Structure 1
Amino acid sequence: MSGHLMGVYNRAPVEVERGEGARLYATDGTAYLDCVAGIATNSLGHRHPRLVQALKDQADKLWHTSNIFRIPGQEALADRLTAESFADVVFFANSGTEAVEAAIKTARRYHYANGNTDRIDIIGFDGSFHGRTYAAINAAGNPSYVEGFGPRLPGYVQVTFGDMEAIKVAIDSPTAAAVILEPVQGEGGARASPTPTCARSASGATTPACCWCWTRCSPAWAAPASCGPTNGPGSPRTSWPWPRRWAAASPSAPAWPPPRRPRAWWPACTAPPSAAIPWPWPWAMPPWTRSPGRKPSPMWRRSPAI
């Protein structure tokens, strides 16, 4: 193996040459059933002929453009996503961890726009994984990820996963900005969070002060289908960064900010660049929007408070 690659991965001694459907093929001809799916980032398999053709067609037109121009495919994808979900607006980022960063910034900016400048705390849980940027590793709090990077960032609070009393105390703090939570943890051991109870207990007020950022890093598309976020009356303001399951479809990962918020963002504020590669947008959609008869869970769509 090349000595010029930074040694941050423990790589298996297998050289993957190509993929076909659900299988990977090594350079020695060995076929493997791909249960890894790019560490849970590729749910579309390999070399689907329609996807390959769509990518070829787009490559013949345009590879990249700036977000200072309108991008019809990006707009169409945003329209479709909001029509099929609870969200009113979508922010496209270049990676999953950047989508998480956007959600954190959106939560803090939301409170800033409402005059609550003390609300900066991001409440995370042990066993979480939200990406590898500095804010994301501080939100997750895994000691092995933050070791060696100097002092922890201020404004991040760690709570034991599933400890309802601890989370209620954290949410009631006057400095609480948002809860960042995986409905089903991946790195923490496929643990399902008690999200309906959690949301109910946290939304005692008509307009809860604390925002919610629901992340989906490792579990499959349908894993949290029974505990999706809502923004009905009495529900907390919600963002859903969607880091995974997009890699094969699009170079973007979406972050869905909360609806009905004050105008916390304007063009000069969007520090994270939004992916501007105009890939064919139907392939960036969740599977249920491409297959007749497949529908999302009712809680994925707009619904009353949990």
Structure 2
Amino acid sequence: MPVSNMMWVEKYRPLKIADLVNQKEVVGSLTSLLKNVTEIPHLLFSGSAGVGKTTLAVCIAREILGEGWKDYTLELNASDERGINMVRERVKKFSRFAGLDTDIPFKIIILDEADEMTADAQTALRRIIEDTSKHCRFILIANNISRIIEPIQSRCAVFKFTRISEKEVIAHLKEIAKKEKLKADEDGLKAIFDYSEGDMRHAINIMQAAASLGSITEESVKGAAGLTKTKDVDEVLKLSLAGKIVDARNKMIELIKVYGMSESDFLKYINEAIYRSKVENLVEISETIAKYDYRILSGANPEIQLSALLAELSKFGK
């Protein structure tokens, strides 16, 4: 059976809060809150990648706002536009015009990767949260809660998401395999979990890549792990060290713009790639990556900084 072109991560993304894998405590608390929608505070979801934070945020918007939820929900990814202007312009514009139906209690603003925002942008956001709270609720999503400023944390109900267990990841993958009429053996599914480390999104992507090679076995999963986008970061590193900066930059931009890899993930993967490839100048290269990580976190333009990083890496290959 041909593998569908649609990404399984989207095809099987839960639409209802109750369908979320794991996170029973978070789901339980939120279900209680939803009994009295008008009393819902701003929410802050924290936890590692691929554990259901964004999915749950969208489920909440669907539940509260009903059929036309998209018209009253603004989704922003702070890693794309994390500066103060994004906060002022997009959020203010959306929140300023109430235009609410009588059936709708408030608009919802989902701000993904909020921990990638600069402290200045977060301070501006705090003010907007205060000014618009009559007709807007914010759902902030962060991998690292310690990067969210305290005044924002104190204005939100904080929910910490846990890693998804091996048993639950494998059970969910089995469900998808059944729906896709796919053969999957236990060793193959366990190998997917080992590669993904509790990141459900990554696990589903690996399984889809493995399915394109045939049934899900340990061998096909090993092959598929080589097809996932983290391996493309290895390629970016090789091209940079070989002095092919334009090719390296094009591939880096493709990963970020087309495949949606965040800049912080790109830096994390390139850091791992360096240690795997046993390059010379390890100390200097690690310091270089740390320098650009800090610059991006401080609010510098990510595309310019990552291009400069690749250019600087080319010096180490000579």
TM-score, length-scaled by structure 2: 0.27
Larger radius of gyration: 2
Greater relative contact order, per chain length (Cα 8 Å cut-off, separation 6+): 1
Q: Give the number of the structure whose residues are more often strand, by fraction.
A: 1
Q: Give the number of the structure whose residues are more often helix, by fraction.
A: 2
